[in-house]
Amino acid sequence: MAMDRQSLMIIIIMIIFFSFPSGYEQPHSDKDKEVILYFQHFMTYSRQVLANSSYISGYGNLTGFRLSYEDNLKGHNALEWPLHQYSEKHPWVEQEKYSLLPNSISDDLKSWWGKDPVDTSDPAAPAYLLNVTGSCYGDYSMLTKTRPKLYFFELEKPFVEYYERYSQSKYDEQRERYENDPENNPEPKKDDDKKKVGEEITQEGTILLSIRSLGYNFENQDLSKLIERPEDEVHDAVLVRVLLEIKDHPEIQQSEFETLGIYYQTTGSLITTTVSAKFLGIHGLPHMTFSEQNFNTAKLLVSQLLNSSATDSRNKLEKLNMYIARSQEQCELISFFQLDKTKFLKQEILDIDEELQNPIGRPIPGDFPKVVIKNALMYSPDCGFVLNSNKPAEGDLSIITNKERRSMFTKFLLIVLIQLYLYVAEIRLLRTPGQLSNVSSTTLLLLAYQDALMSLIVLLYANITEELYLILACITVNLVVGDLIMVRFLVKVMCTQANERGISWWELMRGGSRNTETTNTEEAQPQEDTLPAPVTANQEPAIPATGPGVSDDARFTNGIIATGLSASIVSMFLVAGATTWRKSYRKIFEYFAFLLINSYWFPQFIRNTIKNRRKAFLWRFILGTSLLRLMPLFYICLTPDNTLRHGYDPVLFGVVTLWVSLQLFLLYVQTQLGARFWINELWLPKAYDYHPHLSITDLENGFASDILAGIKSRAGDVTSEETQASGYMLCPVDCAICMTEVTIPVAASEQKKDKKVGNTHYMITPCHHIFHTECLEDWMKYKLQCPVCRTSLPPV
C-alpha cells in the first residue's frame, strides 16, 4: 500500500515511541473500570472452563465454541447452549456434529496432521525441528468448492458498548487533530464500512509465517514459575507465537494475523489460532488437536500460559483493548501446519541449536536444517474461507538467518573499510587548489549522501536487531567516519571553488571572466579577436569580500551537514516506507533510486568538460568506488536466497551496472580524447590569454593610470626614433608580488600589435594587474585569486 510521508513519519515516531518502556495506560472512567472488571471475570471463567474440561466432555461453555458446525448449519443460536450432553458413553468426538471444524476440513487434517511421529525407539531416526523460531515463505490458494458456512460470533454486550466508545473516542481524537491542522492529518473516516482484516484475501498469493517459540515451559521465564510438580514439565511440545502475513501476488492486499499455538516436537505438527473477545481460540485449541494425548499436553501448556498472563495485572486495559479491537477488526483464523522431517538426528539438532546460539566451536554439520512446512490449512470460521498450501513452504531458522546476516554484514564492513582507505588515499593526493578546482562537488556530495543514507539505515536496523548490534554499530561508526572525512574534503573543494560563485559555467569554460562588455567596445576595438576588450578593473564583484566574520569553511560545513543530514533522514524514511509498498511501485522506486544514487560520475564528467581537464581522480579511486558500490547491489539482486529477501532481479543489476559503466566509459574517453571531445570546438569560448600584447590604447582602458603616466614621463627620455623603429615602448611596471620591476613592451599603435615580441615573462590578469610570470604562477598554485584585488583568476 502506498503511504504518504506523513503517515511514514507517524509510523517511525510510533516505533520510537513504542520502543520506550511504557507506563501502562490507566482506565479513565468508571464505565471503563466496570468493563475491565467484567473482562477479568470473563477470562477467569473461561480459564476455569478449560481447567475443568476433558477431551470427551467437549469445549464447554467457551465463547466462540458454543455451537458445533452442524448446529451452525441448522441455524442454532449460541444462547441455546448446551445443545449436546457428553458422557463416557457418548463422548465428544472430532466430527462436525460436535466440533467447530466441518467434516471436510477435519477429514483432510486427519489424513496428514500429526500422522508421522518420530520413531523414539530408533536412535538413528531423523527428527523434527525442536526449536522452530524462524520464518517460512510459501504460497496459498483458497479452496472455493467447499466453502464452509459462516459462523456468526457474537460479542458480549458490555464489550460492544465499550468498543463503540473506544472507536468513537479514537474518531473524535482524529477529527480534532484534523480540524486543528487539516493539511497534515488525514480526514477521519467512520469505520463502519471498513473491511475486516482477512475478508479481502484473494484466491492465490503468498504467505509468510514468522514463528517465535516461547521455549520449553520449564525454561521459559514466566511459565517456569508456575511449575510445581515434575509432571507439569512438558518435554515434547512448546508454545509458539506465529505471525501470519498473507499477501496476494502483486502485494496489494496484505493481511496480518497474530496467532498463538502449540508445536508438537515429536510429530512436527503446529496448530495456532487467533484470540479475541468473541472467539477464545486458545482456550478451545486443545480440542482441535485430534487426540486425547495431544489434548492433555495442549491443555497443560495453555493453562499455564493463561495463568501466567492472568497474574500479570499491569496491562489489563491494553489487553482488553486488544481483545476487543481484534474481535471487531479481523477475521478469526485457525491454522494447522505439518512440518517436514529433517535429515538430522535429535542430538544433532540439539547441537546445532546450542552451537548457533552460544558458539564454542562444536563440530556441527555444515548444512543447517530448514523450516519446511509440507502441508498447511488455514480455516476462518467467521469469514468462511479455507486456505491451503499448494506446495511446501520453506524458510530459515532465525538463528541461521542471523548467522548469514552476520557474515553478510562482515563483508559489508570490509567494503566500508576499503572505501574508507580509498577516500583517505585519494584525499591525501588531492591537495593543491589546481587539483581541487577540478573535482566536482556534486560527485562528492552524491557519494557522501550515499554513505550517510547507508549509515542511517544501518543504524535503524541496528536498533531493531539485538543479535547483530555490535557489527552494525561498527559499520555505522566506519561509515560516519568516512562521511566526515568526505565532508571535510568537500568543504575544502567548495572553498577552493568559492571564487566561481556568480560566474556562469559558460564563463568558466572560457576560463576567464572579462567578456561582458565586448560588444560595447567593439567599435573602439576593431581587432577584437586578437585582444578582448579590457573592462574596468573591478567590474567583477570581488567574491571573498562578501563579509568578514563568517568563514567560507564554517558556512559550507554547516550547509552541507544540515541539508545532507535532513536529506538523508527523509530518504531513510522513504526507503523504510518503500519496503511495504506493493511490488510494482517498489520496483519503480528501486530503479529510480538506484539509478539516481549511482549517477555520481556524471557531474565529474561535466566538471572535467567545463574545466577542460582530462582527469580529476586516480583510476584506482574511480574504479574502486564504483565496484564497491555495485557489490551490495550484486548481492541483493543476483543471490537468489539472500538474507534481505530481495527477489532475484538480474535486470536491475544489469541496468545499474551498465549505467555506471557508461559513466566510467565517458570518463575514460575523456582521458583519451580530451575533456571536451563531445563538444565541437567552434562552440567553445576562447580561453583567457595571460600574455596579451598591449598597445597604448589598451593601457588607456582599465589599467592603472600610473602605468600610462610612467610611459608618458619616460617618453621624454626615450628617443622617438627608437620607438618608431620597433614600434614598441618598453614600459616598466612594479610586480606586486616581488616588488621589482617588470618591463612590458607596449605597441605604439594597434597595427603594430601583432608583431612578435617576447611576452612570456609577464602575465596580465583579467583585472589588469601585471606580474612576473614566475611570481603569479607560484601564487596560483595556492589560490586562484588576484593578489591585488582578489578577483578570481581563470586557471592557466
Partner 1 sequence: MAQITPIRGFSNTPVSRSVCVLTTVISIAVAVLQYKHYFILAIDPFIVEYGQYWRVATYQFSVINESDFLLTVLLWFQFKTLERFFGSRKYLSVISLFLLYNGVLCFVVMSLGQLLVNFMMYFVSKLNLPLISLALSAKYQVTFLNRAIPGPLGVISSLYICYGKYIPVSYYFKIQLSAENREVESENSDHQENGVTLLAAEAAAAAAASRHDNGASSALSNPSPVSSVSPEPTPSAPGLFSELNLTNHFQIHAIYTLLLINNGIHSIIPCVVGIIVGKLFISDLLVGSNRWSIPLPIYYLISSPSKAWSRYTGLLQLRLGGYHPVRTEEEPEEVNDDVRSTEGAGIRAETPVRPLGSQFLDTFRT
Binding residues for partner 1, per CB under 8 A? 359-363, 406, 410, 413, 470-471, 474, 484, 488, 491, 550-551, 553-555, 557-558, 561
Q: Compute the distance between CA of residue 77 and CA of residue 97 in angstroms, rounded to an integer.
A: 15
Containing H/E element for 52? helix 30-52
Residue with smaller CB distance to partner 1, 175 or 411: 411
Nearest approach, Cβ of residue 443 and partner 1 (Å): 20
Residue among 390, 344, 132 nearest 237 (CA): 132
Please work out, in degrees rounded to the nearest 5, the angle formed at the alpha carbon of residue 170 by the alpha carbons of 166 and 176: 145
Residue with smaller CB distance to partner 1, 476 or 792: 476
In the block, cell 514439565 appears at 233
Nearest approach, Cβ of residue 408 and partner 1 (Å): 12
- Indicate left, alpha or beta for 272 from its phi (over 0: left) and psi (-120 to 50: alpha): beta
| Grid cell of 290 as nine digits | 485430534
Residue with smaller CB distance to partner 1, 360 or 682: 360
- Indicate left, alpha or beta for 549 from its phi (over 0: left) and psi (-120 to 50: alpha): left
Residue among 85, 95, 41 nearest 63 (CA): 41
Residue with smaller CB distance to partner 1, 262 or 493: 493
Nearest approach, Cβ of residue 471 and partner 1 (Å): 6
Q: Compute the distance between CA of residue 791 and CA of residue 538 in angstroms, rounded to an integer.
A: 8
Residue with smaller CB distance to partner 1, 557 or 701: 557
| Grid cell of 337 as nine digits | 501446519
| Grid cell of 706 as nine digits | 600610473
Residue with smaller CB distance to partner 1, 363 or 758: 363
Residue with smaller CB distance to partner 1, 142 or 481: 481
> Do residues 543 and 719 lie in contact, with contact meaning Cβ atoms separated by under 8 Å?
no
Residue with smaller CB distance to partner 1, 556 or 602: 556
| Grid cell of 81 as nine digits | 447452549
Residue with smaller CB distance to partner 1, 429 or 662: 429
Residue among 329, 324, 306 nearest 257 (CA): 329
CB-side neighbour CA atoms (13 Å) of 755:
16
Give the type of residue at 590: E
SS3 87: coil
Nearest approach, Cβ of residue 779 and partner 1 (Å): 23
Nearest approach, Cβ of residue 402 and partner 1 (Å): 10
Nearest approach, Cβ of residue 519 and partner 1 (Å): 43
Residue with smaller CB distance to partner 1, 491 or 509: 491
Give the type of residue at 544: P
> Do residues 766 and 738 lie in contact, with contact meaning Cβ atoms separated by under 8 Å?
no
The torsion angles phi and psi of 431, rounded to 5 degrees, stand at -125, -35
Q: Is the peptide bond before 692 cis (omega within 30 degrees of 0)?
A: no
> Do residues 410 and 404 lie in contact, with contact meaning Cβ atoms separated by under 8 Å?
no
Q: Compute the distance between CA of residue 759 and CA of residue 149 in angstroms, rounded to an integer.
A: 102
Residue with smaller CB distance to partner 1, 83 or 485: 485
Residue with smaller CB distance to partner 1, 364 or 627: 364
Q: Where are the beta strands (DSSP E) in 126-236?
A: 134-142, 204-213
Residue with smaller CB distance to partner 1, 310 or 424: 424
Nearest approach, Cβ of residue 130 and partner 1 (Å): 21
Residue with smaller CB distance to partner 1, 270 or 356: 356
Nearest approach, Cβ of residue 488 and partner 1 (Å): 6
**Residue 747 forms beta bridges with which residues?**
695, 728
Nearest approach, Cβ of residue 560 and partner 1 (Å): 11
Nearest approach, Cβ of residue 603 and partner 1 (Å): 23
| Grid cell of 105 as nine digits | 476440513
Nearest approach, Cβ of residue 565 and partner 1 (Å): 13
Residue with smaller CB distance to partner 1, 558 or 751: 558
Q: Compute the distance between CA of residue 63 and CA of residue 156 in angstroms, rounded to an integer.
A: 9
Residue with smaller CB distance to partner 1, 44 or 347: 347
Q: What is the CA radius of gyration of the chain?
A: 40
Nearest approach, Cβ of residue 359 and partner 1 (Å): 5
Torsion of CA 657, 659, 661, 662, to 10 degrees: 160
Q: Any long-range contacts for 458-466 (C-beta under 8 Å, 24+ apart)?
A: 460/572, 460/576, 463/19, 465/402, 465/405
Residue with smaller CB distance to partner 1, 483 or 507: 483
Nearest approach, Cβ of residue 491 and partner 1 (Å): 7
Cβ neighbours around 140 below 10 Å, total: 26
Q: Compute the distance between CA of residue 736 and CA of residue 730 in angstroms, rounded to an integer.
A: 18
DSSP-derived pairing of the beta strands 728-734 and 254-264 = unpaired
DSSP-derived pairing of the beta strands 741-747 and 694-695 = parallel
Nearest approach, Cβ of residue 353 and partner 1 (Å): 16
CA distances to 33, 39, 244, 311 from 316, rounded to whole Å, are: 10, 9, 25, 10
> Do residues 534 and 710 lie in contact, with contact meaning Cβ atoms separated by under 8 Å?
no
Nearest approach, Cβ of residue 406 and partner 1 (Å): 7
Residue with smaller CB distance to partner 1, 363 or 716: 363
Q: Terminal CA-to-CA distance of the chain, rounded, Å?
A: 57
Nearest approach, Cβ of residue 427 and partner 1 (Å): 13
Q: Compute the distance between CA of residue 192 and CA of residue 370 in angstroms, rounded to an integer.
A: 43
- Cβ burial 672-687 (10 Å sphere, 16+ → b, else e): eebbbeeeeeeeeeee
Nearest approach, Cβ of residue 551 and partner 1 (Å): 8
Q: For the chain, how many helices (H) and strands (E)? A: 23, 16
> Do residues 141 and 204 lie in contact, with contact meaning Cβ atoms separated by under 8 Å?
yes
